[in-house]
A and B are shown apart, each in its own frame.
Chain A
Amino acid sequence: MQRYSGFGLAKHALTHNENWQRMWRNPVPKKKYDVIIVGGGGHGLATAYYLAKECGVTNVAVIEKGWLGGGNTARNTTIVRSNYLWDEAAALYEHSMKLWEGLSLDLNYNVMFSQRGVLNLGHTLQDMRDIQRRVNANRLNGIDGEVLDAQQVKEICPVLDCSPNTRYPVLGASWQPRGGVARHDAVAWGYARGADALGVDLIQQTEVVGMRIEDGQIIGVETTRGFIGAETVGCVAAGNSSVLAKMAGIKLPLESHPLQALVSEPIKPVLDTVVMSNHVHGYCSQSDKGDLVIGAGIDGYNGYGQRGSYPTIEHTLQAIVEMFPTFSRVRMNRQWGGIVDTCPDACPILSATPVKGLFFNCGWGTGGFKATPGSGNVFAWTLAKGVAHPIAAPFSIDRFVSGKLIDEHGAAGVAH
């Protein structure tokens, strides 16, 4: 793997940038692998990377029906935080957070992880009770967090309207200083490059169309380029998880919904932190290119169209203008949507299935991007050992049968 550095940039500039190497190969798929990961988004690529790097399993293929990172990884609003309520979720997201903190150096790829803090606003007395509860739990779980009053929120974010005259005045917020944003494409590319360098085959433009199961054991996947064998298969396909599950005769407790997002045109720096409000339904941060990146809640109907309905955009911008009145004359550039696989308890599924060797990593709903490193890491472990990583164990699909759900709708921060 060609190492990157500032010095390298200068060196390559001298040779007209003609000697940069490919970031990853475009290999012909082998007949068989030890592990196949279906889905080449952030989570799938991270899984492949950690399989190779930490679990010593390199005979791995990632099979992606489009282009790497082209699904939800390319479409999310890039927020990273770990301030979830329940112990199990907190452990998973904090595990991820710790990996974020060393990720650029580990991958030798700048994922532009910027820990500029995340505010989750409270607008009612019950909001503030929930915030207190969550931040106290964070604190006792070793996760950074503070409860702020309206004045403190204003000091951190001067452009936010914290006056008592708004329809739902800001009463306070939870503040996670270590939270922030990262560059989504870079995460996919960094993991892809790293995995490829360790021997993982990244197979793009190849769609899995069936699964071959014999005597209750998976033996491989049927693809648009033929059959590829493996006795361990991990499905990491976000909104398309139910489609894959159906091939294996399995049903999941998922619904795929549109999740919309939008950006403004690039403007000079005006917002230095991430602001999220459940109550008025909107969240906002400003990218390094200057665009305001804004997210909405999901659209209520099932949708695989990577788009949602216009009223959602309207309501979201009403919320944004309500929170940031000085943004009213800033222009929206573009909107888009992803397909989020939502789970009844707003927590993911990291699980074995009734088919031996077949595992699913899905159900991240609106909270997947922040978990990319952690998800890949514990899922890799699970695939390598055949048994759930301790952090992944509570997220087994069995919890829907036993009733041991982990309800993170409040902390998920995005309207369901």
Chain B
Amino acid sequence: MSQANRLSQGGQIDRSKQINFTFNGLRYTGYEGDTLASALLANGVDIVNRSFKYSRPRGIVASNAAEPNAIVQLGSTEATQVPNVRATQQALYEGLSARSTNGWPNVNNDAMGLVGKLGGPMMGPGFYYKTFMAPASMWMTYEKFIRKAAGLGRAPNENDPDIYDHYNRHCDLLIIGAGPAGLAAALTAANSGARVIICDEQESFGGSLLETADPLNGKPASEWVSQVVEQLAANNDVLMLPRTTANGYHDHNFVTLHERRTEHLADKAPIAHQARSRMHHIRAKQVILATGAQERPVVYANNDVPGNMICSAVSAYIRRYAVVPGQKLVVTTGNDSGYQAALDWQAAGREVVAIVDCRANPDGDLVKQARQKGIRIIAGSAVFEAKGSKRVTGARVAAVDLNAFTLKGDVEDLGCDTIASSGGFSPVVHLAAHTGARPVWNEEAIGFVPGKVKGVIPVGGVDAIYPLNEVLQSGHQAAVQAIESCGYTLTPLELPKATGRVEGKAAALFQVPHLKSTSRAPKQFVDLQNDVTAAGIELATREGFESIEHVKRYTALGFGTDQGKLGNINGMAITARLLGRTIPETGTTVFRPNYTGITFGAIAGRHAGALFDPERYTAMHQWHLQRGAKFEDVGQWKRPWYFPIGNETMHEAVARECRAVREQVGILDASTLGKIDIQGKDSRDFLARVYTNKWAQLGLNKCRYGLMCKDDGMVMDDGVTTCLGDNHFLMTTTTGGAAGILEWLELWHQTEWPELEVYFNSVTDHWATMTITGPNARDLLSEITDIDLAKDSFKFMECREGMVANVPARVYRISFTGELTYEINVQANYAMHVWKALFEHEETYGLTPYGTETMHVLRAEKGFIIVGQDTDGSVTPEDLGMQWCVGYDKPFSWIGKRALSRPDTRRKDRKQLVGLLPSDPKVVLEEGAQIVFDPKQQVPMKMKGHVTSSYYSPTLGQGFALALVMGGAERMGETVFMPMADGTVYEAKIVSPIFLDPKGERQNV
């Protein structure tokens, strides 16, 4: 039975292009222009899923983003699986493969359905809060079963083959929604020369005009749509984005648009390197919100059986997709619009059993039309129960008094297989609420309209304007307002004319009372996806939940993937009635992005994988790679960690590198350290304020180590700063601190001391830095430089400029290793040349490249700290024993000074930096090991400090460490203990943190 529900003519599908697809393993055909939903309905597929809680059979209810039931798992391969695709929003393509997300063994015969039927009464809202408590140990077992039953589709278990990109755009006017209001606005604005972006979530522009029976200028509305689209396409200042959902509205008219570029074509982008979808980041001067209004279903008993649909969806399927989803229709409505579904059904050649209208005397134009066509109208009544289980078999109808909330009179049973309901229309206000503006209740329209948002103009249906002529006008007027505020003048244009229609006043129809009370009647569903019933809402209010937020959270109303598009207003109305309040008194939620779901990959864009974060390399990186270096991430930098030769372990490599430095000469790429060029007549003064130490007497070409604190007295950064001239200094910082310190300097200068004349520039990337260190360093450097390196000519902590390997260089005699050291700085693009020039003498001097690990060991042997490793933001200069670096009597109260005299910073038992020598020389303590004085105490133990840096020293021939220990400075020679996770307790002696050459003779040679 192929496509039994397909009409032989009409619709906007292309019957010449047949498409084959699979659903739940069965093969079907459809046409180009179908959605998966329309194709399934064409093929007479009733049950598309099982509900998540009660496992009831479910069919297609809507034809757009509001669909709650037809949620499918899409994808014909593992990697291209997409969970939770809405069949009503998925264009049909050749080879599409989809499955229901729930239902075992299959959606037609679901084992859980029995559980739902029998257990249902026990599984009201919040039932899990009332049970599963004892025994407490069993909760996680119960939970496993709950978790297995939860969830709709599944994530793939292979990586995503698709890529996604982002686009930043600016425009005068962003129009969200390309229905009549949006198109009128676009036409008006484009015509007047404004820069316009217009988007629509559907496959093509037109919105309600694609489904309406109302003509424009006497012709089918779709013709006008085609004309407008053609006109806009020819305009270079207009960007048209169909298949594009505005999913989030953000502050100051920033809007995210998600464009689905290939989801209508295949499982994944068909061309290599093509983005599957694109996020447009739009900054618009003005936004026109033309998102229309969404029809609500009516709530009655068993309104979830397949065959219950909303009226506008029935019309959409017939008019747009040429599909009639059944044979015999009953309509239940409280407004005129619902009649259109019956008229369309009849025009398609199928039987309309009756239109049941809750109003006593319906009399609008559509009502008259229906009467003329001989359709039976039952007034003052409503459908109160649907019959059938896997498909509607009938509708139970009775007269209804909505105010008293009761049925009256006799019950009539109407045989039918489709019930289309229309409870009214809810403006799609979501985007206007995303930045917190609460929607406003409009009593006349029986709906919420957008709250005021600066720069956003709601038009047409979203502002509860429904007659087509008024809709077109409102779009036009809004565009006029928008373009004039952007400085354009209006070029007048003529809008098309719709034939005005007389509409009867709509009734406030939400829930239909049943013969039995709500708690005893068959389930009346409010939120189909989360199986929330009117009885459930009643229970919530019975238990004391009176805020709509509480009701929603307790029942899960609106928390599904459809975000309550069909259910929220009904739920609010029911809650209001139960609490004796009006709907606005009951309140409404503020909506948040996303309007419809967007994949993580689409939001992440290209910043995944290799592009997640930039990799920063020094000028010598290629050389390190070729030499076989292993790398460490330091911030965004890739720094060589160690250079293993052959099969060396890290331990072996580091030991060799350390020995090489202490005995011959090693070379370190230190380019990553921050370098800040400081100039200006007040530079020296400024340095004195931001550093703890003194700068007043630092002479030309002299270097000094500086310590920087925050104003709370805690050490923040350190580095060597050199005087290059009276008004010129070069500051270095830690690698990780560079950007932050530059901003810190600017902060103080710009906001506190603007009277100081001083300028800062980052030169980190300008200069490459290669540090040669070891007894052979002088001899090595003298091979390639004209600088006089004699001990008395170029002293420790001095700087010289000259040529190195024929390249202008600055050479600093500073040492982080404690050996004779020259830090050679050259312009970065010459660095590789200079580096290689040094290596021409590799054999002669035993030049050995070393990395950060060796650097750590060597500096620790000398007791030099690493900020961020030996400090953690709670350590002062005095804690580090660096009083020598603190200029207590400097005239200006430098940053950090005041805080050093607070009660806590004056404490004697603060943690202080010490050295540790393990009692067992073979032991290398664990970094992060906690230190106790008494290893025998019970847990919780009083901890007295921790090991901050710990290494094996080939020079000392044993392990050693730096640590912070309470009152450590007074505890030299004492033994402390480190209890480890495996039960071992290590012992170590507290010693000076300077393990080698305490007088610093070696760096002075």
**Physical contact A–B (CB less than 8 Å):** yes
B633–A407 CB distance below 8 A: no
A116–B133 CB distance below 8 A: no
Give chain B residues whose Cβ lies under 8 Å from the Cβ of A185. Answer: 553-554
B599–A266 CB distance below 8 A: no
Chain-A contact segment, one of B172-180, B233-241, B453-461, B866-874: B866-874
Flag whether B685 is at the interface (Cβ < 8 A): no
- Complex Cα distance A267/B102, Å? 11
B155–A326 CB distance below 8 A: yes
A318–B930 CB distance below 8 A: no
- Binary interface profile of B, 886-914, with partner A (CB < 8 Å = 1, else 0)? 00000000000001001111000000000
Query: Which of B520, B603, B634, B868 lies in contact with A16, CB distance below 8 A?
Result: B520
Flag whether A167 is at the interface (Cβ < 8 A): yes
B130–A8 CB distance below 8 A: yes
Give chain A residues whose Cβ lies under 8 Å from the Cβ of B156. Answer: 326, 329
Given contacts A6-B131, A267-B154, is CB(A126)–CB(B932) below 8 Å?
no
Flag whether B158 is at the interface (Cβ < 8 A): yes
Closest chain-A Cβ to B168's Cβ sits at a distance in Å of: 12
A68–B151 CB distance below 8 A: no
A267–B940 CB distance below 8 A: no
- Binary interface profile of B, 255-281, with partner A (CB < 8 Å = 1, else 0)? 010000000000000000000000001
Flag whether B165 is at the interface (Cβ < 8 A): no
By the criterion of a CB under 8 Å from any partner CB, how many residues of chain B are at the interface?
113
Give chain A residues whose Cβ lies under 8 Å from the Cβ of B980. Answer: 136
Given contacts A124-B632, A132-B928, is CB(A70)–CB(B547) below 8 Å?
yes
Instruction: Scan residues 607-638 of chain B and give those whose CB is less than 8 A from a CB of chain A.
Output: 607-610, 612-613, 615, 632-634
Closest chain-A Cβ to B570's Cβ sits at a distance in Å of: 20
Give chain A residues whose Cβ lies under 8 Å from the Cβ of B159. Answer: 325-326, 328
Flag whether B578 is at the interface (Cβ < 8 A): no
* Chain A residue at smallest Cβ distance from B546: A26
A289–B604 CB distance below 8 A: no
- Complex Cα distance A350/B510, Å? 49
Chain-B contact segment, one of A233-241, A304-312, A352-360: A304-312
Query: Which of A140, A288, A309, A318 lies in contact with B612, CB distance below 8 A?
Result: A318
A269–B151 CB distance below 8 A: yes
Given contacts A131-B928, A321-B601, A328-B608, is CB(A333)–CB(B561) below 8 Å?
yes
Closest chain-B Cβ to A283's Cβ sits at a distance in Å of: 14
Closest chain-A Cβ to B338's Cβ sits at a distance in Å of: 31
Given contacts A17-B124, A136-B981, is CB(A318)–CB(B563) below 8 Å?
no
Give chain A residues whose Cβ lies under 8 Å from the Cβ of B154. Answer: 267-268, 270
- Binary interface profile of B, 918-934, with partner A (CB < 8 Å = 1, else 0)? 00000000111110100
- Complex Cα distance A309/B593, Å? 12
Given contacts A114-B143, A140-B940, A331-B599, is CB(A403)–CB(B902) below 8 Å?
yes
* Chain A residue at smallest Cβ distance from B75: A329
Closest chain-B Cβ to A70's Cβ sits at a distance in Å of: 6
- Looking at B52, B132, B517, B563, which has the most chain A CB atoms within 10 Å of its CB? B132
Flag whether A250 is at the interface (Cβ < 8 A): no
A326–B160 CB distance below 8 A: yes
Chain-A contact segment, one of B80-88, B803-811, B840-848: B80-88
Given contacts A87-B943, A265-B84, A265-B152, is CB(A334)–CB(B143) below 8 Å?
no
Closest chain-A Cβ to B999's Cβ sits at a distance in Å of: 31
B981–A407 CB distance below 8 A: no
* Chain A residue at smallest Cβ distance from B164: A328
Closest chain-B Cβ to A395's Cβ sits at a distance in Å of: 14
Query: Which of B136, B151, B549, B597 lies in contact with A289, CB distance below 8 A?
Result: B151
- Complex Cα distance A142/B281, Å? 50
Give chain A residues whose Cβ lies under 8 Å from the Cβ of B905. Answer: 403
Give chain B residues whose Cβ lies under 8 Å from the Cβ of A189. Answer: 129
- Binary interface profile of A, 128-171, with partner B (CB < 8 Å = 1, else 0)? 01111111110111100011000000000001000000111000
Flag whether A186 is at the interface (Cβ < 8 A): yes
Give chain B residues whose Cβ lies under 8 Å from the Cβ of A21. Answer: 543
Give chain A residues whose Cβ lies under 8 Å from the Cβ of B520. Answer: 16
Give chain B residues whose Cβ lies under 8 Å from the Cβ of A139. Answer: 930, 939, 981
- Binary interface profile of A, 281-296, with partner B (CB < 8 Å = 1, else 0)? 0000010111000000
Instruction: Scan residues 369-416 of chain A and give those whose CB is less than 8 A from a CB of chain B.
Output: 399, 401-405, 407, 409-410
Give chain A residues whose Cβ lies under 8 Å from the Cβ of B563. Answer: 333-334
A108–B543 CB distance below 8 A: no
Chain A, interface size: which category?
A: 35 or more
Give chain B residues whose Cβ lies under 8 Å from the Cβ of A190. Answer: 129
B598–A331 CB distance below 8 A: yes
Give chain B residues whose Cβ lies under 8 Å from the Cβ of A314. Answer: 603-605, 607
B592–A110 CB distance below 8 A: no
Closest chain-A Cβ to B623's Cβ sits at a distance in Å of: 22
B543–A20 CB distance below 8 A: yes
- Binary interface profile of A, 2-18, with partner B (CB < 8 Å = 1, else 0)? 00111011101110111
Flag whether B748 is at the interface (Cβ < 8 A): no
A267–B603 CB distance below 8 A: no
Closest chain-A Cβ to B647's Cβ sits at a distance in Å of: 19
Query: Which of B160, B248, B436 lies in contact with A328, CB distance below 8 A?
Result: B160
* Chain B interface, >50% SS class: loop
Query: Which of B133, B939, B981 lies in contact with A108, CB distance below 8 A?
Result: B133
Query: Which of A113, A129, A328 lies in contact with B604, CB distance below 8 A?
Result: A328
B561–A266 CB distance below 8 A: yes
- Complex Cα distance A404/B519, Å? 59
Closest chain-A Cβ to B154's Cβ sits at a distance in Å of: 4
Closest chain-B Cβ to A110's Cβ sits at a distance in Å of: 5
Give chain B residues whose Cβ lies under 8 Å from the Cβ of A12. Answer: 122
Given contacts A110-B131, A139-B981, is CB(A22)–CB(B542) below 8 Å?
yes
B561–A409 CB distance below 8 A: no
Instruction: Scan residues 123-157 of chain B and give those whose CB is less than 8 A from a CB of chain A.
Output: 124, 127-134, 136, 139-140, 143, 146-148, 150-157
* Chain B residue at smallest Cβ distance from A263: B559
- Complex Cα distance A139/B926, Å? 15
B608–A136 CB distance below 8 A: no
- Complex Cα distance A17/B162, Å? 49
B593–A334 CB distance below 8 A: yes
Query: Which of B519, B553, B608, B902 lies in contact with A17, CB distance below 8 A?
Result: B519
Flag whether A125 is at the interface (Cβ < 8 A): yes
Flag whether B467 is at the interface (Cβ < 8 A): no
A310–B248 CB distance below 8 A: yes
Give chain A residues whose Cβ lies under 8 Å from the Cβ of B941. Answer: 140-141
Give chain A residues whose Cβ lies under 8 Å from the Cβ of B634. Answer: 124
A330–B904 CB distance below 8 A: no
B930–A137 CB distance below 8 A: yes
Query: Which of B83, B122, B127, B615 lies in contact with A330, CB distance below 8 A?
Result: B83
- Binary interface profile of A, 48-91, with partner B (CB < 8 Å = 1, else 0)? 00000000000000000011101000100000000000010000
* Chain A residue at smallest Cβ distance from B632: A125
Closest chain-A Cβ to B327's Cβ sits at a distance in Å of: 35
Closest chain-B Cβ to A362's Cβ sits at a distance in Å of: 21
B599–A328 CB distance below 8 A: yes
- Complex Cα distance A280/B636, Å? 12
Flag whether A105 is at the interface (Cβ < 8 A): yes
- Complex Cα distance A112/B604, Å? 32
- Binary interface profile of B, 867-887, with partner A (CB < 8 Å = 1, else 0)? 011001110000000000000
Give chain B residues whose Cβ lies under 8 Å from the Cβ of A132. Answer: 926-929
Give chain B residues whose Cβ lies under 8 Å from the Cβ of A137. Answer: 930, 943, 946
Query: Which of A25, A147, A317, A409 lies in contact with B603, CB distance below 8 A?
Result: A317
Enumerate 23 A-B pairs (CB-CB under 8 Å) in ascending A order.
A4-B130, A9-B131, A16-B535, A23-B544, A67-B546, A67-B549, A104-B136, A104-B139, A139-B930, A168-B612, A266-B560, A288-B146, A288-B147, A290-B152, A320-B604, A322-B612, A325-B608, A326-B159, A329-B601, A331-B83, A334-B563, A334-B593, A403-B904
15 extra interface residue pairs, beta carbon distance < 8 Å, beyond A129-B928, A265-B83, A269-B147: A6-B132, A67-B547, A112-B129, A132-B928, A137-B943, A265-B84, A267-B83, A307-B592, A313-B603, A331-B598, A331-B599, A332-B597, A332-B599, A403-B899, A407-B874
Q: A-B pairs with the 6 shortest C-beta distances?
A: A132-B928, A290-B151, A331-B597, A328-B601, A133-B928, A403-B904
